[in-house]
Amino acid sequence: MNLTIRARLTLLYVLVLGASFLALFWIFDLGFRRSIEITVNDESQSNLETVQKVILNSAPKGAAKVRKELGELADLWANEAIFQVAQPNGEILFQSPPFLAPDFPFPPVAAEIICFTRNLEHSQYRIARRQIEIAGERYLIDTAVPTEPFDQALDRFRIIEKEFLPLLVLLASLLGYWLSGRALAPVNRIIESAEGIGVRNLQRRLEVPKAKDELRRLTETLNAMLERIELSVGRITQFTADASHDLRTPVALIRTNAELTLRHPRTQAEYRGALNRILELSEETSQLIEQLLTLARADAGETHLKYEIVPLTPLLERVSQQARVLADAKGLIFVKKLGGGAATRTVNGDPAALERLFLTVLDNAVKYTPTGGSVAFRLRAEDEQAVIEIEDTGMGIAEDELPRIFDRFYRADQARSREIRGCGLGLSIARWIAEMHKGTIEAESRLGEGSLFRIRVPAVTGVTNREFIFDEVSTSTNNVA
Chain positions contacting ligand ADP, by CB under 6 A: 364-365, 368, 392, 394-397, 405, 410-412, 414-415, 422-428, 451
Q: How far is the CB of 422 from ligand ADP (least distance, A)?
A: 3
Q: Is 110 exposed, middle or buried (0-12, 13-18, 19+ CB in 10 A)?
A: exposed
Query: What are the residues facing 192 on neighbouring strands?
Result: none
Helix (H) or strand (E) holding 40: helix 5-58
CB of 246 vs ligand ADP, minimal distance in Å: 10
Angstrom distance (rounded) from CA 137 to CA 131: 10
| Min dist. Cβ of residue 281 to ligand ADP (A) | 15
Nearest approach in angstroms of CB 196 to ligand ADP is 39
Q: Which is nearer to ligand ADP, 209 or 439 (CB)?
A: 439
Cβ(381)–Cβ(387) below 8 Å: yes
**Shorter beta-carbon distance to ligand ADP: residue 357 or 379:** 357
Distance CA 340, CA 316 (A): 12
> Which residue, 147 or 393, has its beta carbon nearer to ligand ADP?
393
Closest CA to 330 of 361, 376, 279, 374: 374
Helix (H, G, I), strand (E, B) or coil at 380: strand
Determine the residue with CB nearest ligand ADP.
422
Q: How many CB atoms are located within 10 Å of the residue 454 CB?
A: 17
Q: Which is nearer to ligand ADP, 206 or 402 (CB)?
A: 402
Going edge to edge, which strands form the sheet with 440-446? 440-446, 450-458, 385-392, 374-382, 333-337, 472-475
Smallest distance, ligand ADP to C-beta of residue 370, A: 11
How many helices (H) does the chain have, and how many strands (E)?
9, 13
Measured from the CB of residue 406, what is the shortest distance to ligand ADP in angstroms?
7
Q: How far is the CB of 380 from ligand ADP (least distance, A)?
A: 19
Q: Closer to ligand ADP by CB, 331 or 394: give it.
A: 394
3-state secondary structure of 218: helix
Least CB distance to ligand ADP at residue 269 (A):
31
423 contacts 416 by C-beta, under 8 angstroms: no
Which of 387, 390 has the CB closer to ligand ADP?
390
Spatial separation of the C-alpha atoms in residues 396 and 351, rounded to whole Å: 29
